[in-house]
């Protein structure tokens, strides 16, 4: 048994919208105030504020700001727990997380509630301080009662609710098929079978419209009503692009998981690659990180194996047929002839075959991590 989040669209009533706005504001205030206190304490006294100290300080915050009592205390407590997790991730060298940042009023808003702050009955959820159940457009029934819920509002003004439930994954029937995957930009991924997925380039598709809206937004007076309206249009377009990208990646990853028992991919340093001024935008638009993340958790649920091959493995420079390695292979060269066997080679398909071979070799030796073929 594992935990799985089910995200659904939420349509709050005017009264619930007001309550949620108040809850978002209180959670944002507690986060920013506590983060400023932690930062100042470390910079001036060199002290690290513990989570227990932050929780005790919350009592004095409620005394100084009585309006914090108008929302459920669970929301504020969970905000402090989330900040503790953010600092734990920051101090973990393996995660390479950034220092926690202050939350903005016009950014994405979210609150998290445990069972003490909401009631789930007959498929309806009622949060603390609300008089009526939330209007949720359920796409599927929940497998169990939620242990916690997260209510969020994106920059486009849409509300969502994410329910964390107990989930029992069912393993798929074993299949002898295995595949290697090479990630790319002309195609999102190329398989060792020679299949190329293509790349819809969602951002490029709406690039002209997005640029036009952003130029109009830059000319609006700050704080004006028209600027707020135009900002919403830009946010809705960004949300549409993100939804299209996420939908395409979900479909592609699900197809690969359904058809293959072992999937071999290359572990790329995507954080470093997006800093490339020429390719960073295209890499971000492709969504490599999200694609691999979905393959990882879907493989675990389906009883499949995802093998990551080291990024330093020269998959593109090695001939899959004879093993000959070329010294230099610029990124612009998509085809080359092997000097060892004289075969014409497609760079991407060749890399996918090499990744599959190296991944299966590492998997046979029991290595399934990022250094499977280091």
Look up residue 350 and give its two tokens. Answer: 């060749």
Q: How far apart are the first and last CA of the chain?
A: 33
Average pLDDT, whole number, for the chain? 93
**Counting Cβ atoms within 10 Å, is residue 144 exposed (0-12), middle (13-18) or buried (19+)?**
middle
Q: Is the pLDDT of residue 141 over 70?
A: yes
In a domain, 243, yes or no: no
In a domain, 37, yes or no: yes
Model confidence band, residue 34 (pLDDT cutoffs 50, 70, 90): very high
CATH code where residue 194 lies: 3.30.420
CA distances to 20, 47, 74, 186 from 149, rounded to whole Å, are 14, 33, 12, 39
Average pLDDT over residues 344-354: 93
Average pLDDT over residues 285-296: 95
**Counting Cβ atoms within 10 Å, is residue 206 exposed (0-12), middle (13-18) or buried (19+)?**
middle
In a domain, 238, yes or no: no
pTM: 0.90
Average pLDDT over residues 316-328: 90
In a domain, 150, yes or no: yes
**277 and 182 housed in the same domain:** yes
Q: Is the pLDDT of residue 368 over 70?
A: no
For 135, what's the count of Cα atoms within 13 Å in the CB-facing half-sphere? 7
Q: Is the pLDDT of residue 176 over 90?
A: yes
The per-residue pLDDT for 161 is 98
Look up residue 53 and give its two tokens. Answer: 């100290």
Residue at a domain's end among 167, 186, 219: 167
Give the catalytic positions in this structure. 182, 266, 348
d(CA 320, CA 340): 11
Characterize the bridge pairing of strands 305-309 and 262-266: parallel
Nearest to 20 by CA among 137, 124, 117, 102: 117
Average pLDDT over residues 216-222: 95
What's the domain range around 7? Answer: 2-167
Q: What is the pLDDT of residues 242-289, one digit of tens each?
A: 999 999 999 999 999 999 999 999 998 898 899 999 999 999 999 999
**131 and 194 housed in the same domain:** no
Model confidence band, residue 56 (pLDDT cutoffs 50, 70, 90): very high
How many domains does one find in the chain? Answer: 2
The per-residue pLDDT for 96 is 84
The per-residue pLDDT for 202 is 93
**262 and 161 housed in the same domain:** no
Average pLDDT over residues 351-359: 94
């Amino acid at each position: 048994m594992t935990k799985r989040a089910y995200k659904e669209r939420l349509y709050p009533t005017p009264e619930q919208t007001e309550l949620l706005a108040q809850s978002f504001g209180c959670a944002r205030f507690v986060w920013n105030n506590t983060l400023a206190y932690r930062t100042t304490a470390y910079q001036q006294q060199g002290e690290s504020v513990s989570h227990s100290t932050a929780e005790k300080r919350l009592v004095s915050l409620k005394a100084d700001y009585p309006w914090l009592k108008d929302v459920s205390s669970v929301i504020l407590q969970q905000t402090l727990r989330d900040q503790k997790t953010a600092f734990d991730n920051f101090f973990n060298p393996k995660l390479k997380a950034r220092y926690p940042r202050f939350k903005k009023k016009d950014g994405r808003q979210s609150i998290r509630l445990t069972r003490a702050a909401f009631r789930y009955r007959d498929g309806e959820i009622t949060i603390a301080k609300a008089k009526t159940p939330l209007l949720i457009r359920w796409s599927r029934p929940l497998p169990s009662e939620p242990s916690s819920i997260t209510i969020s509002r994106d920059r486009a003004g849409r509300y969502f609710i994410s329910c964390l439930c107990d989930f029992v994954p069912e393993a798929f029937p074993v299949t002898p098929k295995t595949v290697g995957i090479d990630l790319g930009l002309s195609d999102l991924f190329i398989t060792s079978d020679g299949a190329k997925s293509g790349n819809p380039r969602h951002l490029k598709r709406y690039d002209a419209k997005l640029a036009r809206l952003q130029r109009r937004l830059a000319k609006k007076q700050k704080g004006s009503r028209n600027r707020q309206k135009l900002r919403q249009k830009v946010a809705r377009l960004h949300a549409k692009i993100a939804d299209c990208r996420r939908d395409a990646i979900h479909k592609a990853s699900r197809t690969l998981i359904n058809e293959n028992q072992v999937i071999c991919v290359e572990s790329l340093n995507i954080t470093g690659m997006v800093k490339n001024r020429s390719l960073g935008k295209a890499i971000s638009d492709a969504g490599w990180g999200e694609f691999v993340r979905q393959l990882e958790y879907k493989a675990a649920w389906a009883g499949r194996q995802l093998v990551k091959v080291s990024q330093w493995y020269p998959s593109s420079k090695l001939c899959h047929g004879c093993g000959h390695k070329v010294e230099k292979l610029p990124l612009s060269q998509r085809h080359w002839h092997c000097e060892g066997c004289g075969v014409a080679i497609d760079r991407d398909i060749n890399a996918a075959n090499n990744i599959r071979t190296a991944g299966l070799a590492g998997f046979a030796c029991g290595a399934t991590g990022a250094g499977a073929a280091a």
